[in-house]
Amino acid sequence: MRMRFGEALQVTVFGSSHGPDVGSVVEGLPAGLPVDLTGIQAELDRRSPVGRKLATRRAERDQLILTHGVSGGRTTGGPVVGYVRNEDVRRGPYRPLEDVPRPGHADYPARERYGGSLDLSGGGIFSGRMTVGLVLAGALVRPFLTAQGVSVVAFTRSIHGISVPETALSLPLTGLEAASRENELGAPDPDAAEAMTRSIEEARRSGDSVGGIIEARAEGLPVGLGEPFFDSLEGSLAHALFAIPAVKGVEFGSGFASADRLGSENNDPYEMVQGTVRTRTNHAGGILGGLSTGMPLLLRVVVKPTSSIAREQESISLSRRTAQRLVVTGRHDPCIVPRAVPVVEHVTAFVLADFLLRRGRS
Ligand SMILES: Cc1cc2nc3c(=O)[nH]c(=O)nc-3n(C[C@H](O)[C@H](O)[C@H](O)COP(=O)(O)O)c2cc1C
C-alpha cells in the first residue's frame, strides 16, 4: 500500500471511511506560510455532503483539527498534520459486502489482496472520504501558489452527457470560479446546472447513478515546469489525479479529440504578445514535452457513475462460490462529480506547488 505522494512537497493520507478519522500529513511546506483555518474549513465544506441536496445523506461535518506544524497562524516548516472525525458511521449495510462484493467498487480485489485485516467498511481506504486529506493538502499550499502568481480553478464540465455551453467556458478564470460557485453542481452555467440536477435526480429516483467530466485550469505558471522523463508535468498530474476514487480518465488540452485532427489543425502557432511568447490556440493544454509552456494549463478528468446503486445487481458469494443477487444499501452519492470538483482542484494545486518547490531546489 502506498499512501504518500509528491517529491519536494509530500502528502500522506491516513484513516479510513469508518475508522476514527481521515486526514493527511503534509511535509515540505515552506516555513512561515499563512494558514487561514477558516479558509481551509471552507474548502473542506465545498467537498462535504452536508447541505447538499444531491449528495449522500451521510452527515459528516468534517470539522478540521490541526495538530502539528502550525504556530501563530503560520507553518513551522515541519510536517502539518490535520484530520476530521468520522462521526456518522453505520457499519450494518457493509457487513453483507464482506462476502458479496459490489460490482464496480473495490470490494473484491481489496479483499483478495489484503484479506480480512483491512477494514473495508464504508469502502475503507477506497472511500471518497480519503479525499479530505487531499483537499487539506491542496488548501495548505494555496497561499504559496498565490504568492507565485498561480491560480487554479476546477469546475463541472458535464454530467451524463449534459455539457456546459462553450460561451460559459470562455469566461476568464475568476468568472468561471464565481459562476461555478453559484450552484451545488459546480457548473459555471445556471441552465446546464439545472439540467444536470434533473439528470441526477432522475438517476437517483430510478435507483441508479451518473458520472461526468471535471475540468481544471491553472494560470500564471512559469515556462519549463516539470521533470521529464518520468516526472513530466502531465505524468505527475495524471498520477495524482488517478488516486482520486472514481476517476477513470485524464486528458490534457485537446486530449482524445486530437486523434481526429490534422497536425496543421492541432499545432498551436506561436506569436509574440507584448513581448511574451504565446500560442494562438492551446490544444496542448499548456504542456509540451512534459514541461509547462506558460499558456494556461487545461486538464479534464472523467468521473465514473457511482458504483453503489440501489438497483438489484448480479454478484457472487465469495464463500460459496455461487451467483448471488445483491441490493446495496447504505448512503451513497448519486453522482460523485460535484463533490469531486474541489478535490480535483486541490490535487492539481498540490502537484503544481510540488514542481514549483522542486524547481527552487534544482
Ligand atoms: C468525493 C467522492 C465521493 C464518493 N462517494 C461514493 C459513494 O457514495 N458510493 C460509492 O460507491 N463510491 C463513491 N466514491 C467512489 C469510490 O470510492 C470508488 O469508485 C471506489 O473506491 C472504486 O475505485 P475506482 O472507482 O477508482 O476504481 C466516491 C468518490 C469520491 C471522490
Query: Cα(116) to centroid of ligand 1, in Å?
Result: 20
Query: Cα(303) to centroid of ligand 1, in Å?
Result: 9
φ, ψ of residue 45 in degrees (nearest 5):
-65, -35
Query: Cα(188) to centroid of ligand 1, in Å?
Result: 24
What span, in angstroms and rounded, lies between the C-alpha atoms of 119 and 235?
31
Which protein residues touch ligand 1 with a CB less than 6 Å away? 56, 105-106, 123, 126-128, 131, 244-246, 304, 306-308, 332-333, 336, 339-340, 343
pLDDT at position 360: 76
Beta-strand ranges (E) seen in 133-178 are 151-159, 162-163
The continuous run of DSSP H or E covering 33 comes out as none
pLDDT at position 362: 57
Query: Cα(128) to centroid of ligand 1, in Å?
Result: 5
Return the best residue to mutate from 204, 247, 307 for the ligand 1 pocket (most ligand atoms within 8 A of CB).
307
Helix axes 37-47 and 337-361, enclosed angle (nearest 10) = 140
Beta-strand ranges (E) seen in 116-253 are 151-159, 162-163, 212-219, 247-252
Task: Dihedral sign for Cα 21, 26, 32, 34, please.
Answer: negative
pLDDT at position 148: 96
Beta-strand ranges (E) seen in 297-354 are 297-303, 313-317, 322-326
pLDDT at position 265: 97
Distances in Å between the Cα of 295 and the Cα atoms of 196, 356, 359 are 30, 16, 18
pLDDT at position 94: 87
The continuous run of DSSP H or E covering 324 comes out as strand 322-326
Going from N- to C-terminal start, the domains of the chain cover 4-361
Paired strand residues for 218: 152, 297
What span, in angstroms and rounded, lies between the C-alpha atoms of 119 and 116?
7
What span, in angstroms and rounded, lies between the C-alpha atoms of 133 and 82?
8
DSSP string, 80-129: EEEEEE------GGGGGGGTSPPTTSSHHHHHHHHGGGS--GGGGGGSGG
Distances in Å between the Cα of 190 and the Cα atoms of 153, 157, 164, 198 are 18, 12, 9, 12
Query: Cα(127) to centroid of ligand 1, in Å?
Result: 6
Which ligand 1 atom sits nearest the alpha carbon of residue 244?
Answer: 31
pTM of the model: 0.98
Reading the chain (362 residues) residue by residue, the pLDDT tens digits are 999 999 999 999 999 999 999 999 999 999 999 999 999 999 999 999 999 999 999 899 999 999 999 999 999 999 999 999 999 888 989 898 999 999 999 999 999 999 888 889 889 999 999 999 999 999 999 999 999 999 999 999 999 999 999 999 999 999 999 999 999 999 999 999 999 999 999 999 999 999 999 999 999 999 999 999 999 999 999 999 999 999 999 999 999 999 999 999 999 999 999 999 999 999 999 999 999 999 999 999 999 999 999 999 999 999 999 999 999 998 999 999 999 999 999 999 999 999 999 997 65
Q: Which protein residue has the closest C-alpha to ligand 1 atom 4?
A: 128
φ, ψ of residue 158 in degrees (nearest 5):
-160, 155
What span, in angstroms and rounded, lies between the C-alpha atoms of 80 and 126?
23
Q: Which protein residue has the closest C-alpha to ligand 1 atom 29?
A: 128
Question: Residue 272's Cα: distance from chain center in Å?
Answer: 35
Count of beta carbons in the 10 Å neighbourhood of residue 289: 14
What span, in angstroms and rounded, lies between the C-alpha atoms of 231 and 239?
10
Which ligand 1 atom sits nearest the alpha carbon of residue 340?
Answer: 1
Query: Cα(118) to centroid of ligand 1, in Å?
Result: 17
Query: Cα(296) to centroid of ligand 1, in Å?
Result: 29
Which ligand 1 atom sits nearest the alpha carbon of residue 245?
Answer: 26
Question: Which class is domain 4-361?
Answer: alpha beta
What span, in angstroms and rounded, lies between the C-alpha atoms of 61 and 51?
10
